[in-house]
């Protein structure tokens, strides 16, 4: 982990130090947001946070993850409630979040991606949720509309928004929009920093939370709009993350609403066999009845997601949603097969497998 000595920034004057000490006595929450070469997106994020979270006490810790230019610092300059920290070199989102949490002054730490847009008072709802002593962490959820509309990003935003908990209990912690008690986060050691670029630190941290007996709740009023990667990069990440999720939960697979449910898992598996069955039927290796049965089972499994798409789009969007879902399903199942092969051969160490970059 990066230590406070690895951070550098402008020294505040004595008046600012005194005012910050006064603020710290009653500061309930710190928003920690890692940033890297995304000054325009960060500016939009800070503006949306300021507009949506008025009349609430909080600070924002922007952690510049070793950007080669001063653009991030310029965006943070003279911003109310914003503190700027910079890592000496690029270390990944996990290390940046850990550094921000250590430097935070709030009792709670709310992690939010710096390329998102805040569309509700996430600070207020995070504080209210964690007043309940039964929970140590809380997650919000993505808006079904992406910040960067497009052919694939529209679909992915719908897929992520439909995959949210239906009740109060959340099975996993979501560092893109999630809050946790700061002392608890530091006691657990923060996110695993060796997973830089692997996008699996949320899975691993969620496992540690569960092992420690810490419950995470879901607050549907904590909503942000995300910027999603394009189709090819997303498919590579889905392939890689699916395998790592399987390895981390090997022999203790638990289905929860935030990562996947049994219904969604069945939809992915059936979606992956549709194309092979179709090709087999075309070449006469199997009868078409098997294709029809598999297709029917697949539509039943993803029916709620298709209904969700219809509500936000229209009936005309359903064929597009099915085609893209089948594509993602093949990437996910291929990742699961790869993980199973690794388990049988052990050609690489566990840490090497989990820390491999996604894209």
Question: Domain check: are 75 and 174 in the same one?
Answer: yes
Residue 348 pLDDT class (50, 70, 90 cuts) = low
Residue 195 pLDDT class (50, 70, 90 cuts) = low
Among the candidates 228, 246, 271, a domain finishes at 228
Of 241-245, 246-250, 275-279, the one with minimum mean pLDDT is 246-250
Share of the chain above pLDDT 90, in %: 62
The model's pLDDT over 49-95, given as tens digits with 9 standing for 90+, comes to: 999 998 778 999 999 999 999 999 999 998 989 999 999 999 989 99
Question: Domain check: are 78 and 34 in the same one?
Answer: yes
Among the candidates 210, 228, 246, a domain finishes at 228
Question: Domain check: are 88 and 192 in the same one?
Answer: yes
CATH number where 203 lies: 3.90.550.10
Q: How many CB atoms lie within 10 A of CB 24?
A: 11
Question: Domain check: are 210 and 86 in the same one?
Answer: yes
Residue 243 pLDDT class (50, 70, 90 cuts) = confident
The model's pLDDT over 7-57, given as tens digits with 9 standing for 90+, comes to: 333 344 444 433 434 444 456 999 999 999 999 999 999 999 999 998 778
Tell me how many domains the chain contains: 2
Question: Domain check: are 331 and 184 in the same one?
Answer: no
Asked, for residue 257, whether it belongs to a domain, the answer is: no
Asked, for residue 249, whether it belongs to a domain, the answer is: no
Contact (Cβ atoms closer than 8 angstroms) between residue 138 and residue 218: yes
Question: Domain check: are 275 and 224 in the same one?
Answer: no
The model's pLDDT over 304-335, given as tens digits with 9 standing for 90+, comes to: 999 999 999 999 999 999 999 999 999 999 99
User: What pLDDT is recorded for position 95?
Assistant: 93
**What is the span of the domain harbouring residue 70?**
4-228
- Whole-model pTM? 0.86
Question: Domain check: are 56 and 150 in the same one?
Answer: yes
User: What pLDDT is recorded for position 152?
Assistant: 97
Asked, for residue 73, whether it belongs to a domain, the answer is: yes
Q: Which of the pair, 356 or 113, is modelled with greater confidence?
A: 113
Question: Domain check: are 35 and 171 in the same one?
Answer: yes
Question: Domain check: are 161 and 304 in the same one?
Answer: no
The model's pLDDT over 155-185, given as tens digits with 9 standing for 90+, comes to: 999 999 998 888 888 878 989 999 999 999 9
Asked, for residue 247, whether it belongs to a domain, the answer is: no
Question: Domain check: are 59 and 158 in the same one?
Answer: yes
Question: Domain check: are 10 and 155 in the same one?
Answer: yes
């Amino acid at each position: 982990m990066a230590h406070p000595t690895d951070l550098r920034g402008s020294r505040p004057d004595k008046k600012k130090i005194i005012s910050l000490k006064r603020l710290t006595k009653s500061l309930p929450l710190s928003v920690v947001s890692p940033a890297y070469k995304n000054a325009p997106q960060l500016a939009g994020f800070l503006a949306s946070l300021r507009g949506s979270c008025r009349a609430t006490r909080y600070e924002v810790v922007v952690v510049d993850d070793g950007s080669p230019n001063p653009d991030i610092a310029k965006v943070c300059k003279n911003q109310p409630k914003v503190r700027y920290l910079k890592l000496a070199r690029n270390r990944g989102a996990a290390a940046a979040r850990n550094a921000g949490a250590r430097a935070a002054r709030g009792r709670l730490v709310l992690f939010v991606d710096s390329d998102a847009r805040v569309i509700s008072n996430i600070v207020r709802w995070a504080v209210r949720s964690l007043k309940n002593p039964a929970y140590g962490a809380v997650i919000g959820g993505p808006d079904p509309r992406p910040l960067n509309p497009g052919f694939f990003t529209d679909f992915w935003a719908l897929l992520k928004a439909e995959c949210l908990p239906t009740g109060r209990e959340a099975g996993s912690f979501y560092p893109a929009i999630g809050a946790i008690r700061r002392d608890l986060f530091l006691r657990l050691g923060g996110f695993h920093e060796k997973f830089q670029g692997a996008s699996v630190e949320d899975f691993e941290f969620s496992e540690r939370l569960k092992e420690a007996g810490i419950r995470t709740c879901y607050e549907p009023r904590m909503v942000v709009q995300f910027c999603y990667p394009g189709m090819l990069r997303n498919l590579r990440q889905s392939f890689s993350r699916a395998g790592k999720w399987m390895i981390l939960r090997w022999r203790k697979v638990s289905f929860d609403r935030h990562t996947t449910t049994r219904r969604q898992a069945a939809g992915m598996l059936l979606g992956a066999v549709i194309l092979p069955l179709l090709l087999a039927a075309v070449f006469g290796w199997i009868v078409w009845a098997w294709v029809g049965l598999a297709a029917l089972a697949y539509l039943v499994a993803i029916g709620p997601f298709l209904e969700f798409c219809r509500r936000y789009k229209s009936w005309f969007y359903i064929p597009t949603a099915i085609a893209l879902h089948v594509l993602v399903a093949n990437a996910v199942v291929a990742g699961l097969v790869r993980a199973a092969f690794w388990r049988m051969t052990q050609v690489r160490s566990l840490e090497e497998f989990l820390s491999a970059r996604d894209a």
